[in-house]
Chains A and B, each alone.
Chain A
Amino acid sequence: MLARQSLARARGPAVAAAAAPTQARNMATLREIELRLKSVRNIEKITKSMKMIASTKLAKAQRAMQAGKQYGVANAEVFEHTPSETPAKRKLFVVVSSDKGLCGGIHSSVTKQTRRVFADKDSVVEKDSPIMVIGDKSKAQLSRALPGNLVMSFNQIGRDIPTFADAAGVADLIISSGVEYDSVAIVYNKFVSAISYESAIIEVDTEKALQEAPGFKAYEMEDDVTKDLAEFALANAIYAALVEGHACEQSARRNAMDNASKNASDMISRLQMQYNRGRQAAITNELVDIITGASAL
């Protein structure tokens, strides 16, 4: 940079005009670089602290997930022994996500899975199957993608570890909403490991499907109790999905903030180098001016 500038000055007054703006530009960019450096440093602090918070929340969320999954497993036991004869035509999709962002691809993962099921031409699922969404982020995405199918949406879940009260409330609203369906498909994010997740679907049968299933006769249950079981099973499955989705969200947020902090620190070192070089170039230019001026006397 220095050699180019002295060459420019040596070429004469015609190019001197070009040299002066370059010098002026350098001084201006020095200020810009300083401002950028300050703001990137702030961002690095913020993302680092968000990563710390997400790490501590992840530990707690994982413990809740281990406990909550037991409910889901016990729940599925009955349904394993009573598979339905006819595949469900009209499924109610319950999409589990959350209200907050900055967590990587959590929300779009569930949304994409739902859209994939609807776009699949081979599936027997009706195209006007109802959808209910938990979480504002997925709600926004799905209200743009499949607006006609949206029936109900829930929010304010996922601020802290989801409770069974949340799941029971959701299950209650689903049942009392009067929506018609043959079975419920809960779309959520499955916790594969602390750095990866994938979208998955839990199927829950309705009371009618349970009663018609051939294997169910072996249990010899009254109709009233079957209705209770179906409702409770729905709440259980929703709870398991909510808790696992929450754990996935915390781990994804931690990874996203970790990447952001790394990128920010890379940017800081690059900008710092640029700033130092620019500062030294400015100093050297001033020295050259002084010396040339002094030698001209």
Chain B
Amino acid sequence: MSSLWRGSISYNKYTQIAARALRQSLQENQRVAAEKRGLTILRYQKWENGVGGQQVLLNQPTEGKA
């Protein structure tokens, strides 16, 4: 069976999604401990000619506020 995700997302993204699914399926105690391992509040910005662009959150929060 060829992988369906191959064209649209990278391998890292694929493993992160699979890991998130696994974490959400654990029992309560283990889930709380595992959720911490999946946290990321990464922000990035692109630079052109020594000038930085807008800072963008990698995972947009569901509340809609950047």
Residues of A whose CB lies within 8 Å of any CB of B are 143, 147-148, 150-157, 159-160, 163-166, 168-173, 175-177, 224, 227-228, 231-232, 235
Interface residues of B in 11-64 (CB under 8 A from A): 11-13, 15-16, 19, 36-47, 49-50, 52, 55, 58-59
Q: How far is the CB of A37 from chain B (nearest CB, A)?
A: 41
Q: How many chain-B residues does the 8 Å CB contact rule pick out? A: 27
Supply 6 A–B pairs (Cβ within 8 Å), ascending by A. A150-B47, A152-B44, A155-B43, A163-B40, A165-B16, A165-B19
| B-chain residues with CB within 8 Å of residue A176 when the two chains form the complex | 10
B6 on interface, CB distance cutoff 8 Å: yes
| B-chain residues with CB within 8 Å of residue A153 when the two chains form the complex | 44-45, 47, 52
Q: How far is the CB of B49 from chain A (nearest CB, A)?
A: 7
Q: Is the CB of B13 within 8 A of A172?
A: yes
Q: Is the CB of B10 within 8 A of A175?
A: yes
Q: Is the CB of A148 within 8 A of B11?
A: no
Partner of A165, one of B3, B39, B44, B46: B39
> Contacts A227-B11, A232-B12, A232-B15 known; A152 to B39 CB distance under 8 Å?
no
| B-chain residues with CB within 8 Å of residue A147 when the two chains form the complex | 49-50
* Distance in angstroms between the alpha carbons of A155 and B58 in the assembled complex: 11
Q: Is the CB of B44 within 8 A of A173?
A: yes
Q: Is the CB of B39 within 8 A of A172?
A: no
* Distance in angstroms between the alpha carbons of A231 and B3 in the assembled complex: 16
* Distance in angstroms between the alpha carbons of A147 and B42 in the assembled complex: 22
| B-chain residues with CB within 8 Å of residue A232 when the two chains form the complex | 11-12, 15
> Contacts A164-B37, A166-B40, A231-B12 known; A143 to B50 CB distance under 8 Å?
yes
* Distance in angstroms between the alpha carbons of A154 and B47 in the assembled complex: 11
> Contacts A152-B47, A153-B52, A164-B37 known; A231 to B11 CB distance under 8 Å?
yes
